[in-house]
Amino acid sequence: MIAPTIVYDLDGTLADTAEDLVATLNWLLAREGLKPMPVESAGSLVGAGARALIERGFAASGRSLDPQAMETLFADYLGYYSAHIMVRSRLYPGVDKALGAFERLGFRQAVCTNKTESLAKLLIAKLGIAERFAFVCGQDTFGIGKPDPKPLLRTIAASGGASERAIMVGDSGIDILTARAANVPVIAVDFGYADMPVADLAPDRVISHFDELMSACDALLGG
Cα 197 from chain centroid (whole Å):
17
Which residues does 61 contact at the CB level (< 8 Å), separation at least 6?
29, 34, 35
- Beta-carbon count within 10 A of 108 CB: 23
Listed in sequence order, the residues at least 6 apart from 95 whose beta carbon sits closer than 8 Å to its beta carbon are 14, 15, 129, 210
Residues 6+ apart with CB under 8 A from 9: 111, 112, 113, 168, 169, 170, 171, 172, 175, 192
Specify whether 96 is catalytic. no
Q: How many residues does the chain have?
A: 223
Q: Considering the candidates 9, 11, 16, 20, report the single residue annotated as catalytic.
A: 9
Spatial CB neighbours of 51, under 8 Å, sequence gap ≥ 6:
70, 74
Residue 91, strand partner residues: 15
What's the maximum distance between 2 C-alpha atoms anywhere in the chain? 58
CA 155 and chain centroid, separation: 14
Active-site residues, by number, are 9
